Structure 1
Amino acid sequence: MVYYVKLAPVYPEVNRENTLYLTHASFRSEEYTVQAGLSFQAVQEWMYPLKNVEAVSAIVDYGMDESFYIQPTDLSGDFKVALKLTDPAFFRIYSFRFLEGNPFTDSDLASGIHTAVISDDLARRLFGTTQNVVGRSFSLDYVNYRVCGVVRGASYLTSKSYAQVYLPYSVFGNYKKPFSDKFPYSGIFSVTFLVKDKAQADALRAEIRDLTRRVNLQYKDQWQLELWKQPTSHWLSVFQSHPSDAGFNPWKTAGYLIVVVLVLLLVPALNLSGLIASRMESRLPEMGVRKSFGAGRNILLSQVMWENFFLTLAGGLLGLVLAWIVVYVGREWVFTLLNSRMLKTYFKQALALFRQNRLFSTLYIAGTGLAIAMTVVMAVVYYVKLAPVYPEVNRGDTYYLSGTSFERNKDGRFQSWSYAYSYRALQEWFYPLKNAREVSASTFGAVKYIQPSDRSGDFAVQIVETDPAYFRIYAFRFFEGQPFTQADLESGIRKAVITDKLARRLFGEEKGAIGRQFLLDYETYQVCGVVRGASYLTSRSYADLYVPYSTMEGYRDAAYPEVPYCGPFQVTVWVEDGKQGKALCDEIHEIVRKQNLLHEADGLKMSIDDDPVSHLHASLMMSVGGGGGDWWRAVRYLLFILLALLLVPALNLSGLIASRMEGRLPEMGIRKAFGGGRSKLLSQVLWENLLLTLAGGVLGLVAAWIALYGCREWVFRVFDRYAWLVPEGTDVYVSGEMLFAPSVFLITLAFCLVLNTLSALVPAWLSLRNPIVYSLYEKR
């Protein structure tokens, strides 16, 4: 986890793989040597004009040691904030999610205007909200700044992008001044580069080497420039203390990490084999009796393996839960843990345990890993269903209305109609809703066919007809372009937002697709935006292309002439919070009540079942099927599965530990005789079990990831009452944020830690209660 946070593409540093850094430069003359950043002149003349790069951002890194304070308007006292001085390209390199507003512009940078992008936590502290903050002012070191954007804040652990306030570097008074008058190109700036791929990164390094060579030729009689091997990759920047470190060996660092991982995995695994061997030794008479009655070796071996399989299913989950608790609670120090000597001591102790009980440790770890794997699979499946994952990041505040039904019982004649909502219902009921942040109408998705320009043959695509609000509810990342507008919707113009995958299939790449045309069911559509595609697992937002619903023939027509409110549209509503969600439900139920009063004389009665339903409610009901609002039935169903996965293996695991403790009674008796206290011995047993569990947790986690990715076409539907097949040709994409979600592992680890601790605590405590004489007599 420590190195995942340091190296993996986490928000907002999702482009780490293609990010390079130039942080230091050395300027050397015959009399002086200066190591600093680059000056504003160097950035303007050398860095910004570089060709082999997608984006170049200059950041003030020197002279920023002093603290910066905000003076709140409520006079509650100044407080310190983290500040970053940069340029607009910074927000193209780091994928900040803007809750409101935009980054400052190049003209803001050139003019030195006092404008700022602030984090959401600072916005709440200053203004009490993250909404309607743009345009408001605050005082930073007694200078007023106007807010131009509010972003979801970065973590302090993503140090390259972390700050609470982002300002144009032109507000810094001395930003044009060199670090040393003797070297006009030395200064206060570091530079961050975004490249397209490894080939462009190599080309950028070659371009900078050539730049260094030309500069040194130009100033050979005055000074020489040294950039070492910069720009460095993100991976190298994590492990290398300074670019000038000539003795740094990345392979040595990699070898060190491999040894750490192997020790964490193999030592507890081999120790588990000793536990099983000890238990089998005590079961030899039982096996002899069963053999004498005709039980074959294969049958007995199979039974033992199945016993251990079910015993250890839940064991490893504990280690995972514990790891997540430690990472969160000790986040201020745990990310430096791998450099401590204490860890080496633990490794030596674990290695000794491994050598003593090799077979037992191996089998124990494998079983524990399986327990973790099964529990993590379940946890990730429901995380993907319920958590805010791209692009459905607003799930917690999203409500759905999927359909309605009408009944008429008049003059002894009964009629009923059921469908989704019509265009008239949208205009009269839903678009005017007061208790809603955004309201979007869309079709349920359909399959249509594209006729490619290369005449390679028609191919099927998933299409959603919708409105512009759809892209405000679902936070699609636009590679280029923008959603179609309200004017496009009203005019019925054939514009389309397509995914990056479809753009590559149609045009060869996702860049340069804006304005280009394609045929959909032999109708010409123009591309207005290209987005990062949603996964098939985020079914509410998944499609290959999105078009205005006004391009759909007869979109204004009702499904039934008798009932003008039934049609092809489902409705998605985004609210501010749970309070507004409750008000939304009341408002819609009031609409239903008024409609039934209005048509009471006609005998027409409207019903919307449980709508509007929250995302949580809708997802849980998929597990048990049916309606009626009994979503607690789904909760009970899931808890039963979880307890079956955890309790049975945990109870069996306690039996394994009890068997091992029985074999260790003489050892415990001797240690007691020499002064070993009960609590100390108990602590050692618990730590031994914890090491085993942690190793099993890592193994199970890897197994879960492999299962989730390899079986992604069906495993994410395994808990649904009504599962469906994935359409042919659909790639079920599983993103990193789905697999590596911290909350999933934290919950899973919490369950496993408690159960595994109890399974070790009870047998160990009972064993250690035996008198010293009894323990020594056990193997006289």
Structure 2
Amino acid sequence: MVLDTVLRDVRYAARGLRRSPGFLATAVLTLGLGIGATATMYSVVHDVLLAPLPYPEAERLVGIGFRFPTEKPAAEQTGGTADFIKAHAKSFEAVGIADDSSYGMNLSAPGGAKPMRLESAKVSAGFFPTLGVTPVLGRTFAAEDDLPGGPKVAMLSYWVWQRTFGGDAGVVGRAIRLNEEPYTVIGVLPEAVSHTGEAPDVLTMNAGIWLPAQISTKDPGYDGDNYVMIGRLRPGVSMAQAQRELDSLTGPMYEAFPIYKDWMTTDGSGGKIRHAYRAWPLKTVMVTDVKQSLLVLLAAVAAVLLVACLNLAGLMTARAATRTRELALRTALGATRSGLLRLLVSESLLLAVTGGVLGLGIAQMAKPLLLASAPMAIPVVHGAGDGWSVVAVVVGVAFLTTLVCGLLPGWTVFRQDAQAALKGGQAAGANVAQVRVGKGLMVGQVAVAMVLLSAASLLLGSFLKMQAVPSGVETKRLDVAQVLLKGEVYGTNLHTAQFVEKVVGELGQYPGVTRVAAVNGLPLDRGLNMGGYPADQPNLKAVIEFRAVTPGYFRTMGVPVMEGREITVEDRAASAHVAVVSATAAKRWWPGKPAIGQAVVFGGTERYTVVGVAADVHSHSLTERLGAVVYVPIDQMSDAMTKIVNGWFPTTFVVRTAADVDVAAAVAKAVADADPEMPVAKLSTMQSVVDKTVSGPRFFSWLAGGFAGFALLLTVIGLFGLLSYQVTQRTREIGVRMAIGAGRGEILRLILGRGLALTTVGLVAGGLMSLAVPKVVGSVLEDVVNTGGAAIGGVLSSSFSALSFAAAAMLLAAGLASWLPARRAAAVEPVEALRSE
């Protein structure tokens, strides 16, 4: 009986919705877009922040960092501090160490296929056992594999095993060539935590080739924080107990490694603090760089959903008001209030189902696009997704929002007297409660939309501000191609210089190419930093950027040489060692003096004579402080320096063309002619390299702009609908006003004034809420902008300008939304309006 009643109400609700196709389409689309955006962001937040790590007893896994107490969670360690914990800490059942840099590898594929570039990771023998990862084939690294100078063995990701080796179970024990050197495959990692071709990340197991770390005190990065460390707590040991043990080890560690006592910073009150051991849950370490941004995005889509709900509530309130007479008639014929409420709820549930299905479809398509376009590395651990929880959230949100939207107009209708509604006919119009509810919903929409608009305008202004910063390089018609000169064969300067010279020479003969050069450490990409100082002032030693270049580099890049000369073909290995320094380096080291003829020291004790001063170029980011850069000829690097640079950084060829010339084929041929086993790792334009540095602000400004645009559109629709409804309901009043002398201009101003009055109230409320926007936007930009230590405030646009722009946009939109209803009201003929009543 009850089921029959429910089904009857649902059928009637469906027929009623079909008779209002405009309302149905608007409501479903509004709900679907709002739920779809929310479901997309919740799905990402769930996978990244909420889902447990796919390892056995993951709650016992920790990241162990050597950090300043004021820094956010991270597992960074130096080689020495990590070895100290490994030797002395008793709280951990197992520990693992990994190199925190990814290393490009050139894999010579079987069967004579074209060599392919893969990202590799280096981990200690304890890394996989600490995580509890068991290979699907073979074994993990043994202790003897991890000794310095140990055997050349490798593990494959499941993705590489399937793609390159066709899933051949006989791959274990097979010899492969990595960077033109033989390695033996000893195992294959499981699919659930395997490389997918995305950006490498050692903590999310996202690398194609895995090698033993073989950490040695002689490694160039041993004394720096170039490693990450994980641990598995012993059963019964809490995080607090482990932290107390780490605290007790900090003092003895400084006695063993006094070099780290110089690593100091201020604590905010003027005092000096040093690094200390810290332990955090491993999941916390993995998400620390993106947590704030994801939560802000989730809040933004929740605000969009709120606007959608307010808009839908307004639509349903207006719809319920137009049905006042129908519902009153049903009451007079014996319908109970519970029956009428059931009818309204049935309509809401139908909208919930339809909007929820549309929202799930949108989320299914939008999530991959969001992950692919995000500028920060979102650490989604493969196998962590849980589709059912997302479906549950979507269903819950859909039903909750539509039920509230359905009950609210029902409440306003039930407060009206049924007999008065039947007697009053169309003249009855909306009751006071409906008018107040409609206005309140409208003010809420304007306030929330105002917050989103101010955030979007602040992000857009910050993006434009950063984009306007000159990079120092002439990017027009400048292509860049990168190769990875890895392995022992490129461990000497002679072989490296010969390869570079051959590629540069061949590319220079290609039609349409005007200049070619090479550099180790492309501007705004990756490059080597080290200690450097003027030879006569060692007290000015500071971190400098080191770049090894070929002759013609500055002219090719469009970087002016302001004093002296640039590096030429005469600067060979046997010649006197020379360097070109950046303008900032010259001002910092020799203020008021000529830099030409001075000497600099870096990477040891060898002196380089300054022969030129080049204009400043941003090394890593458009927002960083300009620092000291030293350029030397590639031919004059020592073998030790060449091995370090080639081991960590790609060699980049920069090609300037006279017109739009496709140099891809020329680059591939020149590289293959120089070394048949050398693949081109990356080919792009210099402009795309520059654009990548502002990809974070651009992404968030467009995303926030989309949210704000959608909220603004809904607000305009809501305001237009509300005023149109009021004009319809008050036609007789308008006719009376005009009959007693009111002009059409006065009526026009009356309706426009009501729309702008509601908007103004919403703007005031939204403006007050927007006071927190700069802080929120700043926290997001901190995740994606490299300021080189500068305050994030220097990146932000003016908050006053953003607020003013948002208010102006909202007022303009409100004026447009109010204009058509106001014109329709002003066009009312008094005689016709009074006669219709």
**TM-score with structure 2 length normalisation?**
0.43
Greater helix percent: which structure?
A: 2
**TM-score with structure 1 length normalisation?**
0.46
